[in-house]
């Protein structure tokens, strides 16, 4: 009995094409060994943050002066801080703070950048000039100072930190997207779309933005690392997450004295190493994305 032919629709062909593109991107990405290592580390970090209540069995805010400054042991894997709080539990719970701060603020900044960069690059003229001059002014002001001022007004807390970092992190991505759109809007397929009577909205969302999104994706990935460093800096300076809530920057704040640095390295080394490894992993992922999304970049 002859087999029945399965009709191939346009939607199924499009889905098959997307699957093939995804497989090709992964093949390019995995050639970047450090990017694969960075991705593996971030997966472990996300697992640590999600399963912190089970991995960190001791309450991270529980103080015990009897256990103050205990070195690493079977009971306290990474020792305790000055207040007797378990450093391993605080490290695990602090991963949540860093990931939320990094990803949340980057999403806010990326949305603002996509809106302003698209309008500026696509329409040009007076609107473009106004947006770029505002961007130049904001870029001339040190971000950390403005963020500290915003947090002082809004008050310390994770949500306020995410908002403060996000509303000031859009400038570089806006200029990057604008430059990409300026190049894409002059392409032949955009001109053909205009000649066929396509509206500006259709041209923007069908042709311009999809072909301009690679730089903003890579820049957004790298911005997560910058946001994590900013949150850690704010918490270290006392403008971010306040004790007893755990944060990598707040944990470093407990080792500011020379005595703690020399005699109790288990206080500052774990959060410092976690910040270092997380930022490196995100940077490796960004490099891998850039190479896989734009193979010509690696050739150059």
Residue 216 lies in a domain: yes
What integer pLDDT is reported at residue 7 of this predicted model?
52
Cβ atoms of 261 and 253 within 8 Å: the answer is no
Task: Locate 259 and state its tokens.
Answer: 């005595």
Residue 73 lies in a domain: no
Task: Locate 283 and state its tokens.
Answer: 């940077």
Most confident of 2-11, 172-181, 203-212: 172-181
pTM of the entire structure? 0.86
- Residue in 96, 84, 95, 81 with CA at minimum distance from that of residue 268: 81
Residue 67 lies in a domain: no
- Residue in 213, 132, 200 with CA at minimum distance from that of residue 172: 132
- CATH number where 142 lies: 1.10.3720.10
Residue 26 lies in a domain: no
Residue with tokens 């001059």, as numbered in its chain: 133
DSSP 2: P
Q: Tens digits of per-residue pLDDT, 181-194?
A: 988 888 888 888 88
* Local structure of 86: helix, strand or coil: strand
Question: How many domains are there within the chain?
Answer: 1
Classify the C-alpha dihedral 116-120-122-126 as positive or negative: positive
Residue 1 lies in a domain: no
More confident residue, 218 or 19: 218
More confident residue, 291 or 23: 291
Cβ atoms of 249 and 234 within 8 Å: the answer is yes
Q: How open is the CA angle 266-268-273, to the nearest 5 degrees?
A: 95
Question: Domain residues for 48?
Answer: 32-57+78-299
Residue 15 lies in a domain: no
Residue 197 lies in a domain: yes
Residue 262 lies in a domain: yes
């Amino acid at each position: 009995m002859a087999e029945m032919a399965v009709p191939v629709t346009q939607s199924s062909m499009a889905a098959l094409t997307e699957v093939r593109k995804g497989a090709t991107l992964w093949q390019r990405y995995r050639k970047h060994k450090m990017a694969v290592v960075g991705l593996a580390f971030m997966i472990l970090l996300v697992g640590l943050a999600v399963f912190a209540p089970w991995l960190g069995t001791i309450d991270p805010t529980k103080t015990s002066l009897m256990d103050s400054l205990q070195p690493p042991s079977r009971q306290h894997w990474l020792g305790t801080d000055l207040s007797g709080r378990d450093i391993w539990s605080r490290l695990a719970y602090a991963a949540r703070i860093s990931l939320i701060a990094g990803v949340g603020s980057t999403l806010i900044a990326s949305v603002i950048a996509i809106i302003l960069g698209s309008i500026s690059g696509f329409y040009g003229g007076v609107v473009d000039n106004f947006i770029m001059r505002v961007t130049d002014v904001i870029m001339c002001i040190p971000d950390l100072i403005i963020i500290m001022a915003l947090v002082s007004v809004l008050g310390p807390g994770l949500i306020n930190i995410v908002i403060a970092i996000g509303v000031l992190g859009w400038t570089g991505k806006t200029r990057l997207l604008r430059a990409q759109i300026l190049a894409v809007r002059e392409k032949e397929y955009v001109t053909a779309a205009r000649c066929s009577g396509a509206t500006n909205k259709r041209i923007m969302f069908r042709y311009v933005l999809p072909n301009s999104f690679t730089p903003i994706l890579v820049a957004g990935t790298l911005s997560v690392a910058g946001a994590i460093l900013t949150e850690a800096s704010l918490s270290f300076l006392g403008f971010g997450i306040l004790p007893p809530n755990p944060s990598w920057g707040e944990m470093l704040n407990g080792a500011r004295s020379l005595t703690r640095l020399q005699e109790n390295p288990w206080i500052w080394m774990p959060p410092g190493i976690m910040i270092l490894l997380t930022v490196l992993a995100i940077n490796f992922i960004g490099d891998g994305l850039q190479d896989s999304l734009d193979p010509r970049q690696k050739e150059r």
